[in-house]
Amino acid sequence: MATATAVSPLLKTPPAVQAHGDVTVTDPALVKRAVKAAALGNAMEWFDFGVYSYIAVTLGKVFFPSGNPTAQLLSTFGAFAAAFLVRPLGGMVFGPLGDRVGRQKVLALTMIMMAAGTFAIGLIPSYASIGVGAPLLLLAARLVQGFSTGGEYAGASTFIAEYAPDKRRGFFGSWLEFGTLAGYIGGAGLVTLMTALLSSHDLVSWGWRIPFLIAGPMGVIGLYLRMRLEETPAFAAELDKAEASRPKVRLREMVAGQWKALLLCMALVLVFNVTDYMLLSYMPSYLTSELKYDETHGLLVVLGVMTLMMIVQPFAGALTDRIGRRPVIAAGCAGFLFLSVPAVLLIRQGSLLAVALGMGALGLLLVCFTAAMPAALPALFPTRVRYGSLSIGFNVSVSLFGGTTPLVVTALIGATGNMMMPAYYMMAAAVVGGFAVWRMSESAGRPLPGSAPAVEQR
């Protein structure tokens, strides 16, 4: 039987794999180490998103001319969305590279770039100091972040999926989004603490820099963990097929050769990320800027919802292994279709209990996606093109629909005056996601396409 042992990307797999290559036996210790390292990178990415979203109003005052607060907020979210425009480019670079030189090397590189981009934001002078240069430097740092994250999620989910045993891929994959929530809670919690402890003047003058500067040491830790990882057994087997040379995969093969799977991937990512960014990125600003809700209470409610999601996440991931990915994702789509309006009406009611119930309902529905997608998306593609095709499909969809969600919904509310736009936007995404679930195949408990069956070492 094949064993998930350390394999150099330029060497053939061990003799045991060549002689008995019908099954891969995964070492639980290696799987857990791979999950931790992959999840930490996702945590750092979302630490930045949490900070940026929760401190968006302050960033608008720091980096853009004084005047209309709505215009400042739109400008801040515009810089946030701009990073998503280059994510497909990052996916087209890092994805094929990951299929050629290996998942581990590319994940180490994306970690370095993410940390550098976030750290750089904390060093940028304000608009009052250097004028238009401030928002331009902010945009440049965001573009570096966006380019690097183009290879992050697809690589991390591919890495975990290729290490995990078939019957527990949902459970192990769910820890990737556990890292997302942990990073977001860390970033948002730090901003909440600073908001409570610092005056508005101190927060604008220097306090906002602290969360971004923390990314430096976080990146060093993440890089260390990722450099200690072994390559995945599935990629090592691909090297065997290529006679220990680097697999040659063309971009056309990743796109034209996988167009049906790519469309499914983009539709699933659309519903996943529109609802994700709506709840975790947009709702804090929606509560304070649009509904004039008390800032501290609003932040605490969202942090409580994310904590609830973290608690449920591993159990929901294990559930997808038992009943399948499709039923869990379908339940999430149905929930957002029928419960988005009641949930937003509760949030608009304004009392702490009503806001908590509305946000909690949306959070639990979102868990249907965060628990299932890290295992479902890599299973759409064969090993040979998995990293590249998933990177392209994931990032194109996120760029068009996910990362633009705060900007689009803010603009729609400004144009129509309709405060229910968040609900309608999530409902539309749920329809697209429901169609994708109807067309996708069940992958729970089955080998990844192009890979040998994987079982857990006893």
| Tens of pLDDT, residues 264-297 | 999 999 999 999 989 877 887 788 777 777 766 7
70 band by pLDDT with thresholds 50, 70 and 90: low
2 band by pLDDT with thresholds 50, 70 and 90: very low
7 band by pLDDT with thresholds 50, 70 and 90: very low
311 band by pLDDT with thresholds 50, 70 and 90: very high
Predicted local confidence at residue 423, as pLDDT: 95
Residue 332 to residue 31: CA distance in whole angstroms: 28
Predicted local confidence at residue 13, as pLDDT: 41
Look up residue 9 and give its two tokens: 């990307």
Residue 8 belongs to a domain: no
Residues of the chain with pLDDT > 90, as a percent, come to 32
Contact indicator for 325, 369 with CB cutoff of 8 Å: no
End-to-end distance of the chain based on CA atoms, in angstroms?
13
State mean pLDDT over 97-102.
Answer: 87
Residue 169 CA neighbour count, 13 Å, CB half: 31
Q: What one-letter code names the amino acid at 117?
A: G
40 band by pLDDT with thresholds 50, 70 and 90: confident
Residue 4 belongs to a domain: no
Contact indicator for 398, 84 with CB cutoff of 8 Å: yes
Predicted local confidence at residue 218, as pLDDT: 81
Residue 247 belongs to a domain: yes
Contact indicator for 232, 164 with CB cutoff of 8 Å: no
Helix runs in 122-214, H state only: 127-130, 133-149, 152-163, 169-197, 200-202, 209-213
Closest by Cα among 152, 436, 386 to 266: 436
Residue 6's CB is within 10 A of a number of other CB atoms, namely: 11
Q: What one-letter code names the amino acid at 33?
A: R
Sheet with strand 454-456: strands edge to edge = 2-3, 24-26, 454-456
Pick the residue with more confidence: 72 or 119? 119
Predicted local confidence at residue 69, as pLDDT: 67
Residue 455 belongs to a domain: no
**What's the mean per-residue pLDDT of the chain?**
84
Residue 219 belongs to a domain: yes
Contact indicator for 37, 162 with CB cutoff of 8 Å: no
Predicted local confidence at residue 33, as pLDDT: 85
Contact indicator for 240, 375 with CB cutoff of 8 Å: no
Buried-state track 417-449, b at ≥16 Cβ within 10 A, e below 16: eeeebbbebbbbbbebbbebbeebeebbbebbb
Predicted local confidence at residue 10, as pLDDT: 38
For the cut 90, the answer to whether the pLDDT of residue 331 exceeds it is yes
State mean pLDDT over 68-88.
Answer: 72
Contact indicator for 95, 151 with CB cutoff of 8 Å: yes
> What is the pTM for the complete model shown?
0.85
Q: Which residue has the tokens 């279709």?
A: 337
Pick the residue with more confidence: 259 or 16? 259
Q: What one-letter code names the amino acid at 113?
A: M
Predicted local confidence at residue 265, as pLDDT: 96
Residue 6 to residue 3: CA distance in whole angstroms: 9
Predicted local confidence at residue 249, as pLDDT: 67
Among the ranges given (53-57, 108-112, 140-144, 432-436), the one the predictor scored with the smallest mean pLDDT: 53-57
Q: What one-letter code names the amino acid at 344?
A: V
How many Å separate Cα 223 from the centre of its chain?
18
For the cut 70, the answer to whether the pLDDT of residue 104 exceeds it is yes
Q: How many domains does the chain have?
A: 1
Predicted local confidence at residue 18, as pLDDT: 34
302 band by pLDDT with thresholds 50, 70 and 90: confident
Contact indicator for 5, 230 with CB cutoff of 8 Å: yes
Contact indicator for 114, 170 with CB cutoff of 8 Å: no
Report how many helices (DSSP H) and strands (DSSP E) the chain contains, helices first. Answer: 23, 3
For the cut 60, the answer to whether the pLDDT of residue 326 exceeds it is yes
Q: CATH number of the domain that 202 lies in?
A: 1.20.1250.20
Residue 292 to residue 304: CA distance in whole angstroms: 20
For the cut 90, the answer to whether the pLDDT of residue 81 exceeds it is no
Residue 110 belongs to a domain: yes
β-bridge partners, 25: 3, 455
Q: Which domain covers residue 427, as residue numbers?
A: 23-445
Residue 2 belongs to a domain: no
Predicted local confidence at residue 160, as pLDDT: 92
Residue 419 belongs to a domain: yes
Predicted local confidence at residue 295, as pLDDT: 65
